[in-house]
A and B are shown apart, each in its own frame.
Chain A
Amino acid sequence: MAVDPRVLFHEPRVLRFGVTERRLHTVHAAAFGLLLATGFMLYLPFVAQIVSDRPLMKAIHLATAALWLTALLLVVVLGDRAALRGTRREIERLDADDLLFLRRRTRAAGRFNGGQKAHAIVQGGLGVLLTVSGALLWLGERDTALRLPGTIALHDAATLLLAALVAGHVWMVTSRPASLEGIWRGTVPASYAAEHHEKWRPASAAEPATAAGRPAGVGASRIVLAALVTAAGLAAAALLVADVVG
């Protein structure tokens, strides 16, 4: 992998991702990594035959799913919700340039280009579909009436698509080290922003505007809510593990 010289030299930085956005990404990255690893150990025949401790893999898989949803809630409860809403608004709005990007790779992109928006939209949909079909798989083990004809097919197909997208996502980032800095530290070189995201008018990294993880006043009610969410999520994960292993 060629290291982009701009990552090495001291060039002015602009802020691409706030702390809340980066936390959200970390939650997904860790959860998807574990879920895909344990899922494939259960699912792919040539691996399943080697890693034969299926109950353990299943316990990790289910606990990870529960903790993933818990962590998502925590990011929303404790994080900068206005920033998240802003991000969602950006991603939802595919403009004419984005649609062109998807077809012909023009470069007139905002903070996210058309490909990044489409990727986020599909990954979000897959997250919903995998959660629903995964819950149905679990429920179907308890009551065969809840075993729908397409549950397995949906979980399988969504997994394969998600794995392909994650692989592509990781491959893209290795080919552009500056984007790795973006998700790691939140900043990208100003020239990188100008080259790949022309329409974006970023804030300088020197300004602390949205860099704060939580807005100044995280009230007591939010802390209590976060504690409740954490307790519920840990309890759910523990119950799932006990149910599978015990």
Chain B
Amino acid sequence: MSPEPSDDSSPLGRRAFLGFVRVGLSSLAWGGAAMDLVAQSTRLVPESLRAVLPFGKGWRIYAVNPPHPTFDPATWRLRIEGLVERPQTLTYAQLRALPRARQTSDFVCVTGWSVDDVRWEGVRFDDLLAAVRPLPRARALRFVSAEEPYEDSLTLAQAREPDALLAYAMDGGPLERKHGAPARVVMPRMYGYKGVKWVSKIVVTDRVEDGYWQQRGYDRDAWIGGSNGR
């Protein structure tokens, strides 16, 4: 069929194939650093174009059980229970009446994108837990989302970090539905999957339990730059 010589032991095409595969496999070592460089450069890309890029800056909304839970201020309740002296059920108005904390922090997703300087408003966990009074053996908080079966936990020490909060407002307005309305966990120094959205219940426990993504292999202590192989 083909007039080309057929006794060449290492033809050009085969060498090209093997070289290509070899370089590709070597990127398993250096590809992460290269991708970070490219992600940095997306700061120069206009906002409207960033939505088509899978990395870089700007929100991407992930859901595990669509559609997003709905929020009705009249019927919404936040239940706080578990190892506490006085379990409590807060209305939206009661949540908003608690001491208000404000902060500006970055949001980093484990899949590679991030959002700089998000303005959050909400409640520090010490203020939230003051009324329920955790028992001495309480060690962790389990956040249960209205988007079942999503949940995740923080140790009490992590929840008491000065920049952790239960947020109900973002960038000057009430938390939007896609961002977890009416309340979500914000833990800026950990990857975003620790920030449970649509929080409907907080259970005070004596140990950290594996959340949705931990059951799927992600790290429990999701420190940015110090977990999940990054």
Chain A residues near B (Cβ < 8 Å) = 43-46, 48-49, 52-55, 86, 89-95, 110-111, 117-118, 121-122, 124-126, 128-129, 132-133, 136, 140-145, 147-154, 156-158, 199-203
B8 surroundings in chain A (CB, below 8 A): 93
Query: Are B60's CB and A151's CB within 8 A?
Result: no
* Residue B12, interface by CB 8 Å: yes
A94 surroundings in chain B (CB, below 8 A): 11-13, 16
Which stretch of B17-25, B130-138, B158-166, B198-206 is in the interface?
B17-25
B5 surroundings in chain A (CB, below 8 A): 93
Q: How many A-B residue pairs have CB under 8 A?
A: 147
**Which among B11, B29, B64 has the highest number of chain A CB atoms within 10 Å?**
B11
B51 surroundings in chain A (CB, below 8 A): 45-46
Which residues between 1 and 59 of chain B lie within 8 Å of chain A, taking CB atoms?
Answer: 1-6, 8, 11-14, 16-17, 20-21, 24-25, 27-35, 51-55, 58
B20 surroundings in chain A (CB, below 8 A): 121-122, 125
Cross-chain contact of B21 among A86, A92, A128 (Cβ < 8 A): A128
Cross-chain contact of A150 among B11, B13, B31, B227 (Cβ < 8 A): B31
Query: Are A148's CB and B28's CB within 8 A?
Result: yes
A148 surroundings in chain B (CB, below 8 A): 28-29, 32, 229
Cα A214 to Cα B64 in complex, Å, equals 46
Query: Are B54's CB and A156's CB within 8 A?
Result: yes
Query: Are B27's CB and A144's CB within 8 A?
Result: no
Query: Are A92's CB and B13's CB within 8 A?
Result: yes
A45-B60, A90-B2, A141-B217 are known; give 14 further A-B pairs, CB within 8 A: A44-B54, A45-B54, A45-B58, A54-B63, A92-B12, A93-B11, A122-B20, A125-B21, A129-B25, A140-B229, A141-B218, A152-B32, A154-B24, A154-B31
Contact with A along B212-226 (1 / 0, CB 8 A): 000011110000000
Cross-chain contact of B3 among A140, A153, A156, A201 (Cβ < 8 A): A201
Cα A154 to Cα B24 in complex, Å, equals 7
Query: Are B35's CB and A153's CB within 8 A?
Result: yes
B228 surroundings in chain A (CB, below 8 A): 144, 147
Distance in angstroms from B71 CB to nearest chain A CB is: 17
Cα A122 to Cα B11 in complex, Å, equals 15
Cα A213 to Cα B25 in complex, Å, equals 35
Cross-chain contact of B30 among A121, A124, A150 (Cβ < 8 A): A150
Cα A156 to Cα B27 in complex, Å, equals 11
Question: Which residue on B lies nearest to A136, using beta carbons?
Answer: B28
Query: Are B32's CB and A110's CB within 8 A?
Result: no
Cα A55 to Cα B212 in complex, Å, equals 13
B230 surroundings in chain A (CB, below 8 A): 147, 149
Cross-chain contact of A143 among B11, B21, B217 (Cβ < 8 A): B217
Given contacts A55-B64, A90-B1, contact A158 B24 (CB under 8 A): yes
Cα A52 to Cα B66 in complex, Å, equals 6
Query: Are B229's CB and A201's CB within 8 A?
Result: no
Query: Are B229's CB and A149's CB within 8 A?
Result: yes
A45 surroundings in chain B (CB, below 8 A): 51-54, 58, 60, 113
Query: Are A44's CB and B217's CB within 8 A?
Result: no
Query: Are A92's CB and B11's CB within 8 A?
Result: yes
Distance in angstroms from B207 CB to nearest chain A CB is: 20
Cross-chain contact of A200 among B1, B66, B217 (Cβ < 8 A): B1
For the complex of A and B, the 3 pairs showing the least CB-CB separation, nearest first, are: A150-B31, A147-B229, A153-B31
Query: Are A49's CB and B229's CB within 8 A?
Result: no
**Which among A49, A143, A147, A154 has the highest number of chain B CB atoms within 10 Å?**
A154
Query: Are A86's CB and B1's CB within 8 A?
Result: yes
Given contacts A45-B52, A121-B20, A140-B229, contact A90 B27 (CB under 8 A): no
Question: Which residue on B lies nearest to A161, using beta carbons?
Answer: B24
Question: Which residue on B lies nearest to A86, using beta carbons?
Answer: B1
Question: Which residue on B lies nearest to A130, using beta carbons?
Answer: B24
Query: Are B24's CB and A125's CB within 8 A?
Result: yes
Given contacts A44-B54, A45-B60, contact A150 B4 (CB under 8 A): no
Question: Which residue on B lies nearest to A122, using beta carbons?
Answer: B20
Sample (11) of A-B pairs whose CB atoms are under 8 Å apart:
A49-B60, A52-B66, A117-B13, A121-B20, A125-B21, A129-B24, A129-B25, A132-B25, A140-B229, A150-B28, A157-B31
